[in-house]
Amino acid sequence: MPIEVDDYVNVDTQLKAFGMNMPQGIAFLPRNLATADSPSALLHESSVSTLRILFRQSGIVEDRIESPEQTILVLQENAFELTLPALFIGISLLTENAAAVNVALSVIANYATDFFKGIGGERRVKFSIVVEDRYTGKYKRFRYSGDPAGLKEFGRIVEQASNDSNS
C-alpha cells in the first residue's frame, strides 16, 4: 500500500498564528497549512464542500478551523485524480471515540469510490490524515496515494499506528 509518514507542522501553533481555531475532533486542513505565510493564502481542495455535506448527513461533527468571518479559498484542479482535503483527527477523539473516526473515514472512502463510478482506467486518490502524538506533542502526517479501494485499509493503518505511538 502506497503510504508515506512524515513529520508535520505544529497544527496548534500554525492555526494560532493565523488567528484560527484548534480543532479537538475532526477537521479539514487546508492543502498548504504547513507552507502558507498568511491565512489569506490558505487553500482547501474542491472536494471539501461535498465532504462537509456528507459528514453532516452522516452525523459527523466537524470542528471548523476558520471562524464564520474567515474564508479559506477553494482550489479546483482539473486532473483525472481525486485530491481530498487533509483530515485532522484530534487525539482525544482518536482514543476515546474511534467509532466516530471510522464513520468519517467510511464516508470519505465511499465518496472516493462513488467519484470514480463509471470511469475506466487508472483511478487515483490522494488523501492525508494528520494526528498528534499525545506524549510528544508532535504531529504526523500519513499520506495515501492509490486506488480508492485502499482508503479503508489506509484508515485502519493510521489508527493502528496512532495507537502504537500513543500507548
Q: Which residues contact 56 (CB under 8 A, 6 or more apart)?
A: 62
Per the prediction, the chain carries an average pLDDT of 88
Q: What is the pLDDT of residues 73-98, one digit of tens each?
A: 998 766 678 899 999 988 888 778 87
DSSP 84: P
pLDDT at 167 over 80: no
Q: Which residues constitute the domain of residue 150?
A: 3-165
The amino acid at 66: E
DSSP 21: P
DSSP states along 11-59: HHHHHHHTT-PPPSSEEEEPTTTTT-SSGGG-EEETTHHHHHHHHHHTT
DSSP 150: G
Q: CA 85, CA 21: separation in Å to the nearest integer?
A: 17
Give the count of domains, the chain.
Answer: 1
Query: What does pTM read for this prediction?
Result: 0.84
Q: What percent of the chain has pLDDT over 90?
A: 56
Q: CA 146, CA 138: separation in Å to the nearest integer?
A: 26
Say which residue the cell 473515514 belongs to: 105
Torsion angles phi and psi, residue 159, rounded to 5: -60, -45
Q: What is the pLDDT of residues 108-132, one digit of tens each?
A: 999 999 998 877 777 889 999 999 8
